Amino acid sequence: MRHFPTGIAALLAAATALVGPPGYGYFPVGQPIPLDASRPQVMPGSLRGTRVPVRVHGQAATSADELVSALRETERAYEAIVDRLRFSAPLFDATRGGGPELDIYLTDETSFVSVAPDGLDYGELWDCSAAVVRVRRGLSAQQRRRAITEGVAHASLLAADARTTNAYRVAFASAIAARVLGEGADEDALTRAASDLSNGIFNARTDEAARGEAVFFDLLASRYDDGSLALWRGLAVAPIARTEGGAARLEDEPDSFDVLRRLLRSEPGGLDGFLLDYATARAVAGTPGDRFDTVGFRALARLAAEPLRTISARDLPEWVRSERPLPQGGAAFVAVDLGGLRQGTLSLWFHGAPWRRWTVAAQRLDAFDRDRGRAPSPPVNEGEWSTTMELGPGDERVLVVVVDQGNQLLDPDRPTNRDGSFAINLSLSNTH
């Protein structure tokens, strides 16, 4: 049974329907309309679930034990995501996989799990799609369970809204799988994604990097959700829309960021402020100062992004420039190592491309990267912002976080016409 928007989902859907898109001239907007997906070559026959509508297929030489185990794991994932958490049920695909059920393929065609939309269901009232799920054959039992659970979650998200970007769905599905299994975020994926933070949120080039953005949803949940994941469920279905026949691309409004912008409108800085908090939290992920308290990280290794520059306080003043322009949603970090400084005043001047919107924060950290206070900026719309920060005993470094918020409203479906460059001037006075 389909789960229709109710409660918070209906409220958010109604609110975001009022958001109008800005003009973008001749830029193509919206995601490409998905075609029917190709399917792997598999052995004749398949295993069909007895409790829920799922079907598992195997490539040649896949063992019976692996097929049976995969079917049981798929049934458990479906029951947890659809029946218990009440996310949307994956759509039927007619008989393209031998029957109408959700098809899971054990294959060598993927490194872990990959999900493709299988066209649009034009009989529905909004853009939604069936899914083809490929899971790597020969994974360990734990890896296969994680991959299948993520695949079912991704299929559920496509059934709710097929217009979101693949990177967004991969990150969201990974977050759902982590909660269902109680295993926490994929630390390997977070480590790989750390180098991609400058490329913009939900703009990862690979599924492996996109999984690292799952912690975005964990930060949302830790602040605003409850154990039933009502907010996540609403976020999955709220930005629904229907693309008119004959369109070249999917309808682009409302989108997930419209929903978030409305949801966070009363928070300090709104969505811009939340993205700044997210980037700041990513900068200390995997340390004792880790702020993703619901993810279950073990601080065994550095999971944070490498700073653009690390500067010793003894070398100030310094002028730091971005090595390359940031795309919308991209983040960069500059670290100032205080080297045992007992007292001083740090002055910061930020200079950003004036056709962009920016947010900036300077955060004091102790020796374990725990927060000791910060000076966040209001939205920087004209390219200039400055602040001073008093330093004291216990401060070991200052982290400057810069987030490019795009040249209009941050929108994953609308390209920006120019990327943004920035520079930071740092100086120190009154030192002891």
The DSSP annotation for 321-374 comes to: E-SSPBPTT-EEEEEEE-TT--SEEEEEEEEE-TTS-EEEEEEEE-TT--EEEE
- Distance, in Å, from the CA atom of 140 to the CA atom of 187, rounded to the nearest integer, reads 17
Q: 37 pairs with which residues across the strands? A: none
Question: From first to last of its 432 residues, what are the pLDDT tens digits of the chain?
Answer: 444 444 554 444 444 443 433 344 445 678 888 888 889 998 988 999 999 999 999 999 899 999 999 999 999 999 999 999 999 999 998 888 888 999 999 999 999 999 999 988 877 889 999 999 999 999 999 999 999 999 999 999 999 999 999 999 999 999 999 999 988 777 777 777 766 677 788 888 889 888 988 888 988 888 888 888 999 999 999 999 999 887 888 888 888 889 999 999 988 888 988 999 888 888 887 777 776 655 454 444 556 778 889 999 989 999 999 988 888 888 999 999 998 887 889 999 999 988 888 999 999 998 888 888 888 777 888 889 999 999 988 899 999 999 998 876 777 767 666 678 999 999 999 777
371's tokens? 């927060």
**pLDDT score for 121:** 80
**pLDDT score for 267:** 85
**pLDDT score for 236:** 94
323's tokens? 């090595």
**pLDDT score for 23:** 40
Residue where the block lists tokens 């799988």: 177
- Compute the C-alpha angle 333/338/341, nearest 5°: 160
- Distance, in Å, from the CA atom of 104 to the CA atom of 154, rounded to the nearest integer, reads 12
**pLDDT score for 370:** 84
**pLDDT score for 269:** 85
**Residue count (the chain):** 432
Domains annotated for the chain, with CATH where assigned, are 8-19+29-277 (1.10.390), 306-429 (2.60.120.1050)
**pLDDT score for 21:** 39
**pLDDT score for 49:** 94
Q: 46 pairs with which residues across the strands? A: none
Q: What is the pTM of this model?
A: 0.87
Pairing of strands 422-429, 318-321: antiparallel
